[in-house]
Structure 1
Amino acid sequence: MSDATLTIDPYRLPRHVVPTRYELRLEPDLTTAIFTGQVTITLTVHQTTQAIILNAVDLVVDTARLEGQDGHRIEATTELDHSLQRATLSLGRPISQGAWKLYLSFHGKLNDQLRGFYRSTYKDQSGTVQTLVATQFEATDARRAFPCWDEPDFKAVFATTLLIDPQLTAVSNTTIISESMENNKKVVRFADSITMSTYLVAFIVGRLETTKPAYVGKAPIRLWTIPGKQQLTPFGQDIATASLKFFEDYYGISYPGDKLDLLAIPDFASGAMENLGAITFRETALLVDQRTGTHAELERVADVVAHENAHMWFGDLVTMSWWNGLWLNEAFATFMEMLAVDDWKPEWKRWESFSVARAAAFSVDGLVSTRPIEYPVRAPKDADAMFDILTYEKGASVLRMLEQHIGPTVFRDGVRQYLRTHAYGNADTKDLWTSLGAVAHQPVPELMDGWIFQPGFPLVTAEVQGNQLRLSQQRFTYLSQESTTQQLWQIPIQIRFTIRERPEHHKLLLTERETNIDLPAGVTSIFVNEGGHGFYRVRHQGALLQQLLDQGLERLAAIERFALVSDAWATTIAGVTPLPEYLRITTHFKSERDKNVWAVLLDSFSFLNRLISPGDRPALEAFVCGCVRQAVDELGWDPRSDESDLVRQLRGDLLGALGKQGNDAATQHEAADRYQRYRKDPTTVDSNIVPALVAILAHTGDEARYDEFSERYRTAATPQEERRYLFSLAAFCLPSAATRTLEKTINGEIRTQDAPFIVGALMSNVYSREQAWDFVKANWDQMDRLFPKQGLRRMCGGIVGLATPELEEDVRSFFTSRKVDLGGKTLEQYLEQLRVAVLFRERDGATLRVSLQRQQSGVSS
């Protein structure tokens, strides 16, 4: 074909010119915030052409020329199209098929948007502001740092050279092969990378310190920080080493890089980024003090490090062909992080606590406005909305369900076959199903396509009819929707029949609308979704639920108790289970000692707190106290030597609930006393209750307390301490405190990586939500400019807390009039979640009031 007949998709580059190698030379100036660069790109031209099209945006291309194998040079003129983020190189004459080299020189700005090639600033130990520069290229921001074919299937080798101030350090994807001096600059050359996608390229320059290496095989593993934070690295290096070893064994393939650096960046929009050999992190996701960190804080670091390491194979070695496959990268890495951390710390019972993440995915996937896990992506910006709970948590949940269905060993062997088949290349969802199906000798694609390519999930209703158990499926939605009733899934179901205290296990694949199972003789109870790994909700009808309650919830595994109460709460929100019945169910959990079960209970109480009128709040507080107090009295304030980390975290969660949601004066008084002791000597208080102490004191705090916590935030010794005090500023009930915190989000006192989350938290606080919403409306344009787009999307999630009819109407009017687009169905989902909350308030508000009054009078009598 000629150039004139090429069909050019505005969002996909033509395939007649393909890069195979980049020799990239960059010189960033941290003082002037500009960078210059040159890149030599080895090309394979597949057909005669007179134009080359590649990606570039926010760059100025200074020169462009092409050179053939015979040494002949062709100068090119460059035309930039900002809207399509492209550069078109027009050649003086046609070039023929074969190998060519493209030489480009360019320059650009080091931006403050936390994407592309950007600046991050921090104050050193003397109070002086320092700057480092880092990269964040996923999904399509490599084109902001150098002209390139910025699509995942244009894999190539990268050879990077950085010219930097001699006082600074440079890190990239591979090992340093030489350092020299040139015009008073240090020239740092890095080894060739593996064949990989542009979004995985990384370079970081600044004043950095590193750990001594730990080794997995021949690959050194180091953690990098800004000066003064190396003492916070041991935990992260331990899990980095352990998980990399685990993945080498699980995948059956050696780590594909020549070294592994993990770098904590002061300003970072996401949690972390899986750049091959140079993983970048938000500080809270990598650095932690093991002595003062809570179990939850340590768990987060372990999860994120393991997640990114999993990507070195699943995402980096084998990469999706296009952004519609992004879900598989992230879902699989989330699944693998659970496996790795569970192997490293089995006492953490990581798959049980993953139930909380699964429930969060249910909450979005129960919306009419949910989306399939995988959906067509035309414009790369459409993929931005894939970085959400459906991709990570729902995706990982359905993979776990499949693994449990076909067996862990078969699943692992299928993954190994997939990685070996597609190593250094690209693959799609169907390629993984093909490998898993071949090893399992089962029709995996037919089973999984319904979970991946259609939205939502099923509600399985279980009821006894005579001597049979009837199971039926329908799509679960919070809002009724006729069009959803015809959906069907192939549902792997595990059932436990209890026969005179003896369990009998039954498996089936529910493929029809309903099915009947003959009951064994003498059945005394039935639990559907044994093990709790199925991505479906269950409604145990009539006597089935009562049998489970009457025979003792302790007979169920903790993950099953979680599923029982989580399913009951979801069906209550949907109007299927009456609210009084749910409140009655919660009273059966007063003896519960599992932190995950309590997480869903406390979350349901928070939901009710957002809906209830101020005059009825004391009744809800009394109800919460009644539910929580028995467990708090038993656990006390101080840990016991034989306690697990999970119980210690539970203590903090329950004390926080009693002091905030329960508004218990005695707990608030004791929290203030314990906090003072903690400030004098941190070793006198278990670290797991410190976040609860801070939260309770913020909830009851005055202006003096606000000033103290603001200062604690500014001078925090660890990223976790900084985060505790930062989010405490959004928990104060004082209007003046909310005003001050909101101002901090746009005046630079709170980093732009954190500010959107604080605004969202203020909109979720019943004492500040109207004030925060007014602030958002008044400052929307400034926030839109300041905040990373991902952060702005997360901030808008706070509108779900604006759960009154009047606020809902105002929210809809604002977003409609401003024509706000958050990408994908994000805004539509937030608005539907708000609609669900307001409808619940209108439908069950009076019932809630009466039920709480009855509970309160019962307690009083």
Structure 2
Amino acid sequence: MEEATGGRGGEGVEEEGEKLLRGEEVKSDDNNVDVGNLEIQLEPETGRTSSRKGKRTFGIVAVAVGALVLIGVLGSLSVRSASASVDERVASLCGSNPDDLPALLVRPEHYEINLTIAEPTSAEVVGGFGGKMRLRARASEASARCLALHAVNMTLNDVMVRRESGGTIVSCTAGVCSGGVSLVYTSSAVVFLPGSGVFDGLGDEVILLETSYQASFGERSGLYKAQLSSKPREAVTVTQLETKGARQVFPSVDEPGSKATFRITIDVPSELVALSNMDVAEARVADGRQSKTFETTPVMSPYLLALAIGEFHSLDSEMNDGTLVKVWSTTEQDLETLEVALDASVKALEFYTSWTDQKMRDFKKFDLVAVPGRGGAMENWGLLLFDERRFLVNVTDGFYERLECYDVTCHEIAHQWMGNLVTAASWDDISFNEGFATFMEYKCLSSLGIGPFGSSLLFEVALTPLSGKLGVHFPGARSQALAYDVGEKAHPLVGDHFDKISYSKGAAVVSMIEAIAESLSPGSFQSGIRSCLREKAYSTTTYRDMLACAFQLHDPAILALADYWVFEDSYPVISKPEGGVIARYLDRDWVPPTAFMLPLRSWDQEKNIVNTDMVLVSSSFTPLPENVASNLEGTILNYGGRGYFRVVHNLSDYREMLRAAAKDGGPETIVTLARMVDDLIHLVDDGLVDGSVLLRFSGELESLRECNSSNAELCFGVVLPVLRELRLWEMFCNSSKATSVDIAKTLFLSNSSADGIFLELVNEHLAALGRSDFAFCNDESEKCDVGLDRKAEWLEKSVGKTVCDLL
């Protein structure tokens, strides 16, 4: 998923400003000052300023009271500084910074958008595209001061603002407006600065804004051209509006919380496929062009509006309820490469419809499109766009290539409910969208019946050959989040971050809440989510509120104790040898700003019972509960591995859990051991546990005697992560003992009872274990474990009884 670039600036603007500062020519006429290619128009009657583009689109516009003041300002400031002064002046006049203004001043209800794209299949972007828009919105009390819409890289031509009840408020032509209104472009918005009393009385009144405009194609954001893999001069035209790309395509209130309905019409060559969120309502063809009007969308956020235009072909199938599902690729790709994607799409839509108990009644179709060179995927409602490298599967591809297609499809389709139907209230709560979708993708994967992993938890701990655990964006939710959520990279879940915290920690905390909810009242978590989706449909929420809703948390005191997991970074560590909770990982002197509740599930092996305790952590060290501490030697902490914290266990604990997992083979037992091992590996890396513990535990793995399809979860969730870690040690130390290879041969190569898919997975892993480029992170690696850079540093600094000595 790609974040749109903000601003309208460029190096050329600064060059024009430097010309002025050097005393070079500044052209002018009676009513215009032309600074290079930047025009600032003085209105003849008022002396106010309005701005418009010249030969190119620039993001910096200077505003002053009159021409002399203007030239004085530009004579002493760079053009970039002048841009800041525009934003500051608008903020002063309108009461807020320009990026926040639109949402404060206007509440959109319905957009009608008409786009004309001359040559969607040419990679050439010069000339941009033309647009017309009609917006129905409700003004706020603050609108008496200003009106504003987000707009970047576009010029408004004719503008008309009027009351729905009748009467024109303001009209503008070529940047000149009536009533003393000034049309000003800031770095992120177009702002109408009113003349005396022009906007008075608009509070809570419905207004209609109509405009024609010219906009520029973006670079992988907004409306952009994706070049074909084999024909770089040809392209398809698609959208990427998350996070702030809608403002590059049409004037809007470009915030996730500003939901509205949309009806879009596009004018493109008649021979092309043209797709949008909804079905086609009306189509006309004339003179080699087609005009397609799509049905009105449900209420949704602007960033979910989508287009895909080009030479595409498709496969299709129907869901049980008759909804049509189509998967598309460019015609340069073989149709058979879409077969896995079609299977994944239909099955995932069926799964989520059943799991949420909520049908997408607004949609009679879903289109899923493979786009060349995207580098990500986007969950637009009804028109999902994917990187073709993830979405297309060749007949010769292995299991993990197929799995990647299923996984990314599960993730993006999860968003149709968690992100689209119910949406993050602001970008600061993107962890709701991404965290819940990442959490749900594993449930979806386990429902599809692919591979040897029988439950969603096992998908989270199974290892891929090259670097990390399974997962669409950032592999292995809990493992990856804990590896990332330390040091400078750590930050709270709340915030405008599209990273491992939003995706993986967001999912891991949801998983922890689910485990506690289910231990207290089986079935309560799913029923809570279903209730939340019905209650909040077509509206917005926050990550915290969705957790509270799903967990049925209404007591403010309990909510406050749960807030630690949302509003604080990092995580605690439980030290079994010390008998307590260390409040913050790798920082034992840190004291939590407020008390928080740590959910702890523990397995008493002697009594074979699982206890659930809520531990109140209020200082840098908190003793374990008495019922746990009284039999600590025979107790496994964080049973099920769902807690978002690490645990220091004893070597005997790892041995006992290995025996229990080999004997029992149940998902919860295996996942517990897998996450104990994951903790152990990272605790060794961070110097909190001696490396000999891991090496001695690895010797126990040979007691399994043989890995086969019947115990695949244990082998892929536990054995392979240990082999991978040892292989890194061996390559760093240039060890000739080849411990991991010996273990692998013992466990995998002697088996005779493995089925085809198991052998396929084993062979991929064994091949990866032998790769020389497998050792540590590098800039060219597409799949790079975030923990490996820390591992390399630790190995290099290791002294005394080093890892190399151990080997």
Q: 1:529 aligns with which of 638, 647, 650?
A: 638
Which one-letter code corresponds to 1:115 in the other structure? S
2:187 matched to 1:84?
Answer: yes
2:698 matched to 1:586?
Answer: yes
Aligned counterparts of 1:41 and 1:461: Cα–Cα separation in 2: 59
Aligned counterparts of 1:10 and 1:73: Cα–Cα separation in 2: 21
2:341 matched to 1:236?
Answer: yes
Aligned-residue offset at 1:443: 7.2
Gaps of 5+ in 1: 376-382, 464-469, 662-698, 700-730, 734-759, 766-793, 802-832, 853-861
Aligned-residue offset at 1:449: 1.4
Aligned counterparts of 2:601 and 2:756: Cα–Cα separation in 1: 29
Aligned counterparts of 2:343 and 2:671: Cα–Cα separation in 1: 28
Q: 1:849 aligns with which of 792, 804, 807?
A: 804
Partner SS state of residue 590, structure 1? helix
2:112 matched to 1:23?
Answer: yes
Aligned counterparts of 1:444 and 1:210: Cα–Cα separation in 2: 51
Aligned-residue offset at 1:17: 2.1
Which one-letter code corresponds to 1:56 in the other structure? A
2:589 matched to 1:482?
Answer: yes
Aligned-residue offset at 1:624: 3.0
Cα distance, 1:364–1:454 mapped onto 2, change above 3 Å: same
Identical positions, percent: 21
Aligned counterparts of 2:804 and 2:483: Cα–Cα separation in 1: 25
Which one-letter code corresponds to 1:212 in the other structure? D
Which one-letter code corresponds to 1:529 in the other structure? N
Aligned counterparts of 1:631 and 1:406: Cα–Cα separation in 2: 38
- 1:392-419 CA-to-partner distances (Å, cap 9, x unmatched) read 1121111111111112621112112222
Aligned counterparts of 1:293 and 1:409: Cα–Cα separation in 2: 38
Partner SS state of residue 524, structure 2? helix
Partner SS state of residue 94, structure 1? coil
2:508 matched to 1:397?
Answer: yes
Partner SS state of residue 101, structure 2? coil
Aligned counterparts of 1:366 and 1:50: Cα–Cα separation in 2: 45
State the partner residue of 2:263: 159
State the partner residue of 1:35: 129
Cα distance, 1:303–1:256 mapped onto 2, change above 3 Å: farther
Q: Is the 8 A contact 2:582 2:588 kept in 1?
A: no
Partner SS state of residue 212, structure 1? strand
State the partner residue of 1:338: 442
Cα distance, 1:625–1:352 mapped onto 2, change above 3 Å: same
Q: Is the 8 A contact 2:169 2:199 kept in 1?
A: no
Aligned-residue offset at 1:249: 2.4
Cα distance, 1:591–1:293 mapped onto 2, change above 3 Å: farther
- 1:425-484 CA-to-partner distances (Å, cap 9, x unmatched) read 122234324423438999763453121111112212225xxxxxx84111453x546336
- 1:241-300 CA-to-partner distances (Å, cap 9, x unmatched) read 222222222222221532211111012132x111011010111332224x4332222222
State the partner residue of 1:170: 274
State the partner residue of 1:101: 208
Aligned counterparts of 2:582 and 2:158: Cα–Cα separation in 1: 61
Cα distance, 1:487–1:296 mapped onto 2, change above 3 Å: farther
Q: 1:323 aligns with which of 401, 421, 427?
A: 427
State the partner residue of 2:624: 515
Question: If you compute each CA radius of gyration, which structure gives the higher value, 1 or 2?
Answer: 2
Aligned counterparts of 1:94 and 1:155: Cα–Cα separation in 2: 24
Structural mapping, 1:428-577, within 5 Å: 428-438=542-552, 445-446=559-560, 448-463=562-577, 471-475=579-583, 477=585, 479-480=586-587, 482-483=589-590, 489-499=596-606, 503-512=608-617, 513-518=622-627, 525-541=634-650, 544-545=653-654, 547-548=656-657, 554=663, 557-577=669-689
The number of aligned residues is: 662
User: What TM-score do you get using the length of structure 2 for normalisation?
Assistant: 0.75
Q: Is the 8 A contact 1:331 1:396 kept in 2?
A: yes
Aligned counterparts of 1:142 and 1:440: Cα–Cα separation in 2: 36
- 1:103-132 CA-to-partner distances (Å, cap 9, x unmatched) read 121222323x211111111156xx685311
Aligned-residue offset at 1:5: 6.7
2:101 matched to 1:13?
Answer: yes
Cα distance, 1:530–1:323 mapped onto 2, change above 3 Å: same
Which one-letter code corresponds to 1:21 in the other structure? H
Partner SS state of residue 755, structure 2? coil
Gaps of 5+ in 2: 1-89, 177-181, 462-468, 470-475, 708-714
Aligned counterparts of 2:169 and 2:488: Cα–Cα separation in 1: 58
Structural mapping, 1:233-382, within 5 Å: 233-258=338-363, 259-270=365-376, 272-289=377-394, 291-345=395-449, 347-349=452-454, 350-355=456-461, 356=469, 357=476, 358-367=478-487, 369-375=489-495
- 1:828-850 CA-to-partner distances (Å, cap 9, x unmatched) read xxxxx55x742442134861232
Structure number with the higher helix fraction is: 1
Aligned-residue offset at 1:362: 1.2
- 1:669-719 CA-to-partner distances (Å, cap 9, x unmatched) read xxxxxxxxxxxxxxxxxxxxxxxxxxxxxx7xxxxxxxxxxxxxxxxxxxx
Which one-letter code corresponds to 1:538 in the other structure? V
Aligned counterparts of 1:843 and 1:800: Cα–Cα separation in 2: 16
Which one-letter code corresponds to 2:722 in the other structure? L
Q: Is the 8 A contact 2:726 2:739 kept in 1?
A: no
Aligned counterparts of 1:136 and 1:164: Cα–Cα separation in 2: 19
Structural mapping, 1:116-155, within 5 Å: 116-123=222-229, 129-155=233-259
Cα distance, 1:591–1:200 mapped onto 2, change above 3 Å: farther
Aligned-residue offset at 1:153: 1.3
Q: 2:159 aligns with which of 64, 84, 88?
A: 64
State the partner residue of 1:617: 734
State the partner residue of 1:600: 721
How large is the Cα RMSD of the aligned pairs? 3.4
Aligned counterparts of 1:141 and 1:561: Cα–Cα separation in 2: 44
Q: Is the 8 A contact 1:256 1:313 kept in 2?
A: no
Aligned counterparts of 2:374 and 2:780: Cα–Cα separation in 1: 24
Aligned counterparts of 1:660 and 1:845: Cα–Cα separation in 2: 29
Aligned counterparts of 1:307 and 1:24: Cα–Cα separation in 2: 29
Cα distance, 1:154–1:521 mapped onto 2, change above 3 Å: closer
2:313 matched to 1:196?
Answer: no
Q: Is the 8 A contact 1:173 1:275 kept in 2?
A: yes
Aligned-residue offset at 1:653: 0.5
Aligned counterparts of 1:120 and 1:506: Cα–Cα separation in 2: 54
Aligned-residue offset at 1:86: 1.1
Aligned-residue offset at 1:183: 5.1
Partner SS state of residue 29, structure 1? coil
Aligned-residue offset at 1:654: 2.3
Aligned counterparts of 2:702 and 2:656: Cα–Cα separation in 1: 18
Q: Is the 8 A contact 2:686 2:794 kept in 1?
A: no
Structural mapping, 1:748-759, within 5 Å: none
Q: Is the 8 A contact 1:262 1:279 kept in 2?
A: yes
Q: Is the 8 A contact 1:81 1:87 kept in 2?
A: yes
Of residues 539-548 and 438-447 in structure 1, the stretch that sits farther from structure 2 once superposed is 438-447
Aligned counterparts of 1:129 and 1:623: Cα–Cα separation in 2: 52
Cα distance, 1:87–1:599 mapped onto 2, change above 3 Å: farther
Q: Is the 8 A contact 1:169 1:205 kept in 2?
A: yes
Aligned counterparts of 2:604 and 2:136: Cα–Cα separation in 1: 65
Q: 1:651 aligns with which of 745, 763, 770?
A: 763
Aligned-residue offset at 1:207: 0.5
Q: Is the 8 A contact 1:216 1:244 kept in 2?
A: no
Q: Is the 8 A contact 1:152 1:321 kept in 2?
A: yes
Of residues 344-353 and 334-343 in structure 1, the stretch that sits farther from structure 2 once superposed is 344-353
Structural mapping, 1:214-225, within 5 Å: 214-225=318-329
Q: Is the 8 A contact 2:553 2:559 kept in 1?
A: no
Cα distance, 1:608–1:542 mapped onto 2, change above 3 Å: closer
